[in-house]
Structure 1
Amino acid sequence: MDVSSFVLLSHEQALRRQLDVAANNMANVSTAGYKREQAVFHEYVENAQEAPVQDARKTSYVLDYGQVHDIAQGAFQSTGNPLDVMIEGRGYLNVEMPDGSTGYTRAGFVKVLESGELATSGGQRLLDENGRPIAIPADQLAQVSITADGTVMAGQDPVGRLAVTGFADENMLEARGDGVLTGSGGTVMTAAQTRLRSGGVEASNVEPISETTRMVEVLRSYQVSQRLSADLSDMRRKAIDRLSRIG
């Protein structure tokens, strides 16, 4: 396999990565709080010591560098549940992970467990500013509300405040696949910095038409790459055929 084939192969691997990311975005178009992802690539230039011509000494390949999150806020999606919340602006709700660590989510589906503690729809307990679960008194379970700054009210009494953590670089967070992300370096936002909207959740910020268009573009680029590969194979075959006749 010559250099041109390796270059085409790196290009096709990049296209496959782009297609996988776009397909994952489409699969999460209805996932609350989901942030669209975009693949990132770097150029790798290899300098050869010898080449037929000067311009052929440098060969450019495509390297998969990772992916970034589109942090644009999704639309408000009403749920009818007064406990559900959408974070307006930056930040993530803090949840307790199975191993005791802290996870982060934008999916603000909130429910009250049988123990009286607030939790996400997936059962992860929501944490307060001190990293502790928020418990509702048994006689106040029917009078729970959440204010705009995250304060949890049981009747007229505050019982805690939902912790909302902000990150300087949100692309450092890693998705687990269940709407919860993990990472470090976050700072719990103050009540003045926190803005929650009750009665609904944040919809995914994925735009289906844009993702569908991107998938079509990737497929067309792959078809072009395949044609180039076929043309190169045909060129090699003809060259071998001519050299065999000379011999």
Structure 2
Amino acid sequence: MKALRIAASGMMAQEMNVNVISNNIANMRTTGYKRQRADFQDLFYQNLRRVGSQTSDAGTLVPAGVSVGSGVRTVATPRIMSQGDIEQTDKETDVAVRGEGYYQILMPDGRTAYTRDGSFELDATGTIVSQDGYALQPNITVPQNARDFTISQNGTVQAIIGNASTATVLGQIQLARFVNKTGLEAIGDNLFLETDASGPAQVANPGDEGYGTLLQNHLESANVVAVSELSSLISAQRAYEMNSRIIKAADEMAQATSNLR
């Protein structure tokens, strides 16, 4: 029976939905994480009586046809790139982006990755790096004898070197923007890669028109809302159960038809 295949596609779709929701919940405390959602489309239809077809020589038309769908499929799992809450950490190398923009990270293979995770560290040479040791771009190095390390809202990195009385500019943090943020490819470790769908990175200083500003000693938390995710989980569970009942009902109907023979 067609109902078996239709209900099976519904169960597969809701299984994917639950997978997406579970990943959101698992990353509730992941810095800069952007939640996903599952989007679905109905499958093609078999037209048993096409709407608008002619029913007589007088030209009368069918006002509503007869068509049977084939089920559902998962078409996309886009990320919701909304701003997460800003939380204070009191760590001088923690920096949150308020507004649009991604930090640029140099990967070991030479590619540039992008992230909203501003939990930076200093490596053995004083270079500002990510939690995995990948250098922030443009490269900024803090001397060992530096003190009063600060990062301004517009991304200027300064520190007082040695016995100097005034601060020295050590570098400039820049942010990247994309025409289609949802088109970025997630590769794990809080990193994204540019794709043809995202468009090329547009780089500028924080605070420039269309770009966010930086906030030192703070981090952006995940934009996952627990209540919403639990509500979506319950809905997905109910939909899965209803599709499983359809399979059971279709099987019982097929058995009844077989017994008639």
TM-score (norm 2): 0.84
> Alpha-carbon deviation of 1:58?
3.9
Distance, in Å, in 2 between the alignment partners of 1:90 and 1:44 is: 36
1:199 matched to which residue of 2?
217
Distance, in Å, in 1 between the alignment partners of 2:105 and 2:256 is: 64
1:14 aligns with 2:32: no
- Once structures 1 and 2 are overlaid, which stretch shifts more, 153-162 or 84-93? 153-162
1:176 matched to which residue of 2?
187
Give structure 1 regions of 4+ aligned residues with deviation exceeding 3 angstroms.
Answer: 46-51, 54-58
The structure with the largest helix share of the pair is 1
Of 123, 130, 137, the residue aligned with 2:143 is: 137
Q: CA RMSD in A?
A: 1.9
1:122 matched to which residue of 2?
132
Distance, in Å, in 2 between the alignment partners of 1:179 and 1:47 is: 44
TM-score (norm 1): 0.89
2:172 matched to which residue of 1?
161
Distance, in Å, in 2 between the alignment partners of 1:189 and 1:56 is: 56
**Aligned residues, how many?**
235
Q: Which runs of 5+ in 1 are unaligned?
A: none
The CA deviation string for residues 63-86 of structure 1, in whole angstroms up to 9 with x for no partner, is 221211112111111111022111
2:257 matched to which residue of 1?
239
The CA deviation string for residues 36-65 of structure 1, in whole angstroms up to 9 with x for no partner, is 1111222222336799xx955442431221
2:40 matched to which residue of 1?
41
1:80 matched to which residue of 2?
90
Identity of aligned residues (%): 26
1:189 aligns with 2:204: yes
Q: Which runs of 5+ in 2 are unaligned?
A: 51-63, 161-166
2:244 matched to which residue of 1?
226
